């Protein structure tokens, strides 16, 4: 049971396993099906065990994690979860078709040659071929990170829900830096139309350039996104239940400062982009456990690759 789990620093340093994965092995969530703890994972059960409240009217302060050596072990996972929640809640998840974990700092994916026409063939003719070969140029994964300077004395009395919001904000901004690379990869060598000014007609033309794939997503800089939202033809545009703007062609409009002005990208999010990472977010856990918070480092090493080139089109405003 979760009350019997022994918490140790070393649980963060097991190769290939996250802290939560280690906890789940010691305290499987499957054992709680049908109980009041069914909705909690192994980490959340430890918060309950030590009565650490991270939200709500009776939310605790940061110092609650440091009331014992056991509870201090939980603090790095709390920090990581907050930053990850901000990171994962950005547009990155809305533009990625697949995620690949690569143990190396270089990634050599497959290349698809699909140029032969898809057509009917007679029994005596050889069928057109699609070639899948190993890529010739490796993608070099890049490191994105941040150092958070915050002494224990400065944050010990801070409510955990407020501190959590700050950490999520850092995760969001870290993701924005990563998404800039994604936008560069999507835009590079993409089939495009050139226009002198952004209009509804140019968006419709972009939609018409998609053949086999659909334009599920339109990505624009905030300035261009506001121009799209203000178009007369979009006055009756649908807003989804979660507040997303759906254009008349069924495309979701995504606004991101990671894309430069005067470029609008249309993609089929199910086929366009591969997100490659050597790991999830990485943090120095020992210092957090020991309350040496002067420098909290968080980083991710990642890169991107276009999967299906014809699932990406763009507008260039000259």
Nearest CA among 21, 95, 100, 129 for reference residue 267: 95
Digit-coded pLDDT (tens) for 229-246: 999 888 777 776 677 889
CA 77 to chain centre: 18
Amino acid 241: pLDDT: 64
Nearest CA among 293, 277, 244 for reference residue 87: 277
Q: How far apart are CA 238 and CA 250, in angstroms?
A: 9
DSSP per-residue codes, 40-107: --HHHHHHHHTT---SSTTPPBGGGGGSSHHHHHHHHHHHHHHHHHHHHTSTHHHH-SEEEE-SSSEE
- The pLDDT tens digits along the chain (318 residues) read 888 999 998 898 777 788 999 999 999 999 999 999 999 999 999 999 999 999 999 999 999 999 999 999 999 999 999 999 999 988 898 899 999 998 888 888 877 777 767 777 776 677 777 878 777 788 999 999 998 888 888 899 999 999 999 999 999 999 999 999 999 999 999 999 999 999 999 999 999 999 989 999 999 999 999 999 999 888 777 776 677 889 988 899 999 999 998 999 999 999 999 999 987 888 877 778 777 777 788 999 999 999 999 999 999 999
Digit-coded pLDDT (tens) for 177-216: 999 999 999 999 999 999 999 999 999 999 999 998 999 9
Q: How far apart are CA 71 and CA 49, in angstroms?
A: 10
Mean pLDDT, rounded, of the chain: 90
Residues near 76 by beta carbon (within 8 Å), at least 6 away in sequence: 12, 19, 283, 285, 288, 289
Nearest CA among 260, 94, 245, 62 for reference residue 165: 62
Amino acid 24: pLDDT: 94
Do residues 167 and 79 touch, judged by C-beta distance below 8 A?
yes
Amino acid 184: pLDDT: 96
Predicted structure pTM score: 0.85
Amino acid 104: pLDDT: 84
Nearest CA among 273, 302, 278, 274 for reference residue 101: 278
Q: How far apart are CA 26 and CA 5, in angstroms?
A: 7
């Amino acid at each position: 049971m979760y009350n019997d789990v022994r918490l140790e620093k070393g649980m963060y340093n097991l190769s290939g396993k996250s802290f939560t994965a280690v906890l789940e092995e010691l305290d499987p969530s499957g054992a709680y099906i049908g109980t009041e703890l069914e909705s909690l994972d192994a980490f959340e059960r430890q918060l309950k065990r030590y009565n650490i409240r991270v939200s709500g009217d009776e939310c605790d302060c940061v110092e609650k994690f440091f009331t014992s050596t056991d509870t201090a072990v939980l603090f790095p996972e709390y920090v990581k979860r907050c930053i990850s929640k901000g990171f994962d809640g950005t547009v990155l998840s809305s533009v990625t078709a697949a995620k690949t974990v690569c143990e190396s700092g270089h990634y050599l994916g497959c290349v698809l040659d699909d140029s032969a026409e898809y057509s009917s063939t007679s029994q005596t003719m050889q069928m057109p071929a699609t070639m899948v070969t190993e890529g010739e140029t490796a993608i070099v994964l890049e490191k994105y990170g941040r150092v958070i300077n915050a002494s224990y004395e400065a944050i010990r009395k801070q409510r955990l829900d407020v501190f959590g919001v700050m950490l999520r904000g850092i995760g969001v901004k870290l993701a924005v830096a990563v998404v800039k690379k994604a936008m560069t990869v999507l835009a590079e060598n993409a089939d495009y139309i050139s226009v002198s000014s952004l209009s509804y007609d140019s968006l419709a033309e972009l939609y018409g350039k998609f053949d086999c794939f659909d334009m599920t997503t339109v990505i624009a800089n905030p300035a261009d996104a506001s121009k799209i939202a203000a178009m007369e033809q979009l006055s009756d545009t649908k807003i989804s239940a979660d507040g997303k703007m759906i254009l008349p062609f069924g495309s979701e409009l995504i606004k991101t400062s990671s894309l430069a002005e005067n470029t609008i990208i249309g993609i089929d999010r199910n086929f366009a982009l591969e997100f490659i990472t050597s790991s999830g977010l990485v943090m120095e856990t020992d210092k957090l456990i020991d309350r040496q918070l002067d420098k909290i480092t968080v980083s991710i090493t990642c890169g991107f690759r276009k999967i299906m080139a014809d699932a990406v089109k763009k507008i260039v405003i000259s």
